[in-house]
Amino acid sequence: MKIDVVSTAQQSDAVLVEGKTVAVIDVLRATSVIVTALANGAAKITPAASVEEARKIYAHESEKKLVLLGGERGGEKIEGFHLGNSPLSYTQKTVYQKNIILSTTNGTLAIRNSDFAERLVAVSFLNINFATKTLAESVSSLVIVCAGTNGVFSMDDILCAGMLIDGIAKITPVECCDLGQVAHQFFLSGNSSIKEKLKLCKHLKYLQSLGYDADIDYCLQVGLLDVLPEYHKDGFLALKK
């Protein structure tokens, strides 16, 4: 499998992704939210590029009792939204059979910048085992789009990309770009835990400063959920085991 990796949402565009399979990664926390919500029975996740777009989509929904607004700016819940960007708040009781309109600083931008892809999926540590197997068995070329943080490289997303590459390489031979090689080697380096590898991650430390330690611990769990969010028309639906 040929694998390309880009480090930020801003680097993804139609030229890069058109006609290709793309895996978007935003570990802390958008793709973790999407995976969790769909695993807990949400009907669909619609990514919005801006707060204004999210509110506009919501305004046009006829059955508002079946729709939730979720997202963050600067890590905090957007004023007037039902939910923030904490995956722990997307419980089955809250999201079951609901359509969720999600807008985040980095993750949904990465998704929207990649929506010219032939196939678009969302990956996090939470679903990486199922995502690895599904992608290794169904595609010959993959673009991994790491969301990054405000246009800057983020260690958490690159580490997850490295784990995805490593898992695929155990199933089928891979040919990676330079950044893919770096991500893979980062994942393979040392014997420390995921959290230990990310102890210097700036975005992780920022979320800790906001009190989101429980979110971090949850998002860094590996292979917890057997669901692969796949983009169809205007939102993510759940491909399950």
- Give me the domains of the chain, ranges plus CATH numbers: 2-234 (3.90.1560.10)
pLDDT at 56: 97
Of 70, 66, 71, the C-alpha closest to 43 is: 66
pLDDT in tens, 125-139: 999 999 999 999 999
Tokens of 223: 């292979």
Give the pair of three-digit tokens for residue 103. Answer: 């807008």
pLDDT band at 221 (very low <50, low <70, confident <90, very high): very high
Rounded to 5 degrees, φ, ψ at 103 are -135, 120
pLDDT for the residue 241: 81
What band does 110 get if pLDDT is binned at 50, 70 and 90?
Answer: very high
